[in-house]
């Protein structure tokens, strides 16, 4: 990994933030910590790292103590061979909260991070005061209806928001082959993905793309990040035992996920609010950081 893309260099861009490692739940997590006030735990998604919050975290740190965590298998966190079901990953975050003596916290998760945040709220509700889910909900049986083939005329260079074709959900189930195909050339996948699911992928800079490519070019990181997908069946089984969440829950939905949120959010939460960002694609922190920051601040204040 080039030095300019390493954590100790990237953190210099975040005034007042510092890097840390914590041993929790039989693994090690990397996290960055900065600001003062009520605690806001931030969980990133695939295929990014803690750095994905760089356009919102420094601003939010004026009002919150912001802790952005590389979830199990991500960034500089450890890559164990097991434990990628969202319940185990939620236990990682739970133990980190206890270790840091944080008490009830606000939690936001994006993409896979939203799945882990959701599981944290289901399994350890006593430590979550407010839950914010940005384009990421807990895996459920609806996933089993996702098409193997795209509907005719719907698979172009931009995602069809009415009938999205997310082929990587299947590709990431495959073991060992993705590591061989993508190691050292992950930037090709990143460029294609960002263009496909973002309304304006020019807002994902070349530097940001290189930050993530530097991490995911490693076979070990590809194996670990794909393991988040390979546990979906286990996650779905866990979900069958969960009851509706009682804490306040905010869904922040892009133009890609809004329809899914309209259906799914009422099923998982009693006290919820849904915000739609109609002109924003899946990577909301890059495309619309100011509005997202304002939404988070208003909901958690």
Q: What is the pLDDT of residue 283?
A: 98
Does 1 score more than 80 pLDDT? no
Q: State mean pLDDT over 244-253.
A: 98
Does 3 score more than 90 pLDDT? no
Does 190 score more than 60 pLDDT? yes
pLDDT, tens digit, for every residue of 254-269?
A: 999 999 999 999 999 9
Average pLDDT, the chain: 97
CATH of the domain at 141: 3.40.50.1820
pLDDT, tens digit, for every residue of 43-86?
A: 999 999 999 999 999 999 999 999 999 999 999 999 999 999 99
Q: Under a CB-based contact definition with an 8 Å cutoff, are residues 53 and 213 in contact?
A: no
Q: Which two tokens stand for residue 227?
A: 């393991």
Q: Return d(Cα 66, Cα 62) in angstroms, integer.
A: 9
Q: What is the pLDDT of residue 89?
A: 99
Does 88 score more than 90 pLDDT? yes
Measure the CA angle with vertex 58, ends 61 and 50; round to 5°.
105
Q: Which residue segment(s) compose the domain that 233 sits in? A: 3-300
Give the number of other CB atoms < 10 A from CB of residue 295: 19
The domain tally of the chain equals 1
Does 121 score more than 90 pLDDT? yes
Q: What is the pLDDT of residue 2?
A: 79
Question: Which residues 6+ apart lie within 8 Å of 177 measured at CB?
Answer: none
Does 118 score more than 70 pLDDT? yes
Does 101 score more than 60 pLDDT? yes
Q: What is the pLDDT of residue 31?
A: 98
Does 114 score more than 80 pLDDT? yes
């Amino acid at each position: 990994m080039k030095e300019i893309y390493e954590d100790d260099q990237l953190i210099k861009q975040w005034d007042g933030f510092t890097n840390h490692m914590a041993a929790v739940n039989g693994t090690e997590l990397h996290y960055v910590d900065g600001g003062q006030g009520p605690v806001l735990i931030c969980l990133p998604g695939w295929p990014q790292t803690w750095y994905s919050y760089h356009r919102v975290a420094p601003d939010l740190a004026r009002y919150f103590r912001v802790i952005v965590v590389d979830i199990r298998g991500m960034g500089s966190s450890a890559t164990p061979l097991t434990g990628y079901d969202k319940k185990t990953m939620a236990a990682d975050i739970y133990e980190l909260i206890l270790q840091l003596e944080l008490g009830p916290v606000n939690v936001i998760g994006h993409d896979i991070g939203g799945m882990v945040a959701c599981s944290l709220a289901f399994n350890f509700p006593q430590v979550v005061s407010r839950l914010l889910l940005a384009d990421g909900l807990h895996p459920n049986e609806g996933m089993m209806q996702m098409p193997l083939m795209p509907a005719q005329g719907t698979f172009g260079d931009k995602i069809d928001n009415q009938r999205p074709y997310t082929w990587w959900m299947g590709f990431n189930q495959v073991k060992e082959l993705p590591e061989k195909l993508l190691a050292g050339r992950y930037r090709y996948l990143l460029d294609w993905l960002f263009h496909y699911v973002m309304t304006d992928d020019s807002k994902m800079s070349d530097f940001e793309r290189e930050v993530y490519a530097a991490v995911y070019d490693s076979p070990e990181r590809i194996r670990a990040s794909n393991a988040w997908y390979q546990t979906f069946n286990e996650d779905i089984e866990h979900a069958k035992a969960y009851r509706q969440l009682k804490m306040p829950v905010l869904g922040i939905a892009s133009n890609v996920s809004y329809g899914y949120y309209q259906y799914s959010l009422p099923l998982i939460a009693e006290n919820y609010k849904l915000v739609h960002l109609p002109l924003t694609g899946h990577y909301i922190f890059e495309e619309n950081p100011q509005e997202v920051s304002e939404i988070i601040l208003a909901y958690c204040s």
